[in-house]
Amino acid sequence: MQMKIGIALGGGGARGFAHLGVLKALEEKGIKPDVISGVSAGALIGAFIASGFSYSKILRALKNKGVMAYSKWQYPRHGLFSLNGLEKEVKKHIKTKLIENLKIPLFIAVSNLNDGRIEYIKEGDLIEYLLASVSIPVLFSPVLINDKMYVDGGLFDNLPISPLLNKCDVIIAVNVSPIQKIEKFDNLVQVASRTFQLGVHSNVIRHKEKCSLLIEPKGLRNYEILNGNKAQEIFKLGYDYTKNLDIPKFE
């Protein structure tokens, strides 16, 4: 009997391009996801994969475009920037409207601000929940869904393996959010981004031991989470690291 494989893709901004390299290398080793769980950048990559896009096509679609490239300054009532640009870009490529209609089952981790809890969404409007999952608090406006305000799922869970625990025989988690040292901060955006990054780090640690396999590509701390200009490098880093891993056969 074939084992069911679930892959959890963590958040990490532009470092999320490493997910593409990791997934490509895993596929070359005969490992493909039956279920995907993603948060923030991991949810975005997961949605493209679950829609049936090739790794090269995803890279071409999003290459050199970190999330800030899609954002626009706005009057900061709930967030400094809007993600209308990202919404248009994703809609241009992904035509599937509902999460449950994707080719591969997908869970999107989002944080419910009103109720103060994490939610793993498997049904509903794909674009709405994707935008919510990447909306770093303060930087981006929360997304209003069914009278609730939602933001980046990494606030509570930046390595979303929980929805896979009772559904998969094998759980592979990909963490692309290592903590790096920063000498100085030039603006409020950098301070807000760093504050959020430090906050989510602790909730990653508690999930690591529950994975069948944890992949943490080395060298990612050298890349800024809001700068997508080195997408190809980050992709290659994830690919090379995973290609050289000695991964056991899951059977």
CATH of the domain at 148: 3.40.1090.10
Task: Work out the number of other CB atoms within 10 angstroms of the CB of residue 104.
Answer: 16
Assigned domain for 112 exists: yes
Assigned domain for 247 exists: no
Is 177 known to be catalytic?
no
Which token pair is 125? 């409007």
Assigned domain for 145 exists: yes
Average pLDDT of 179-184? 63
Which token pair is 71? 């954002």
Task: Work out the number of other CB atoms within 10 angstroms of the CB of residue 179.
Answer: 12
Assigned domain for 164 exists: yes
pLDDT, greater one: 35 or 76: 35
Contact indicator for 151, 135 with CB cutoff of 8 Å: yes
Residue 155 structural domain: 5-239
Average pLDDT, the chain: 86
Distance (Å, whole) CA 31 – CA 172: 10
Which token pair is 120? 């793993």
Give the per-residue pLDDT at 185: 65
Assigned domain for 158 exists: yes
Give the per-residue pLDDT at 179: 61
Supply the DSSP symbol for 219: T
- Sheet strands (E) in 50-208: 72-73, 79-82, 106-112, 117-121, 138-140, 143-145, 148-152, 170-174
Give the per-residue pLDDT at 121: 99
- Look at the chain and report how many structural domains it folds into: 1
Average pLDDT of 64-93? 65
Give the per-residue pLDDT at 39: 97
Given a cut of 90, whether residue 177 has pLDDT beyond it is: no
Active-site position among 40, 51, 71, 133: 40
Which residues have C-beta within 8 Å of that of residue 143, sequence separation ≥ 6?
Answer: 128, 129, 131, 132, 135, 149, 150, 151
Is 40 known to be catalytic?
yes
Give the per-residue pLDDT at 27: 97
Contact indicator for 9, 39 with CB cutoff of 8 Å: yes
Contact indicator for 163, 121 with CB cutoff of 8 Å: no
Supply the DSSP symbol for 11: -
Given a cut of 60, whether residue 64 has pLDDT beyond it is: no
- CA neighbor of 209 nearest in space, from 176, 165, 179, 240: 165
Percent of the chain residues topping a pLDDT of 90: 61
Average pLDDT of 69-97? 72
Give the per-residue pLDDT at 69: 47
The predicted-structure confidence for 124-152, as pLDDT tens digits, reads as follows 999 999 999 999 887 888 999 999 999 99
- CA neighbor of 138 nearest in space, from 180, 195, 84, 179: 195
Residue whose structure tokens are 């794909």: 126
Q: What is the reported pTM? A: 0.88
**Best mean pLDDT range from 49-53, 85-89, 231-235:** 49-53
Give the per-residue pLDDT at 73: 46
The predicted-structure confidence for 204-241, as pLDDT tens digits, reads as follows 677 778 899 999 999 998 888 777 789 999 999 999 99
pLDDT, greater one: 236 or 248: 236
User: Kind and range of the H or E element at 98?
Assistant: none
Distance (Å, whole) CA 200 – CA 203: 6
Average pLDDT of 52-59? 93
Given a cut of 50, whether residue 72 has pLDDT beyond it is: no
Which residues have C-beta within 8 Å of that of residue 236, sequence separation ≥ 6?
Answer: 21
The predicted-structure confidence for 22-44, as pLDDT tens digits, reads as follows 999 999 999 999 999 999 999 99
- Cα distances from 233 to residues 62, 173, 180, in angstroms, run 13, 21, 18
Task: Work out the number of other CB atoms within 10 angstroms of the CB of residue 77.
Answer: 6
Active-site position among 152, 157, 177, 193: 152
Assigned domain for 49 exists: yes
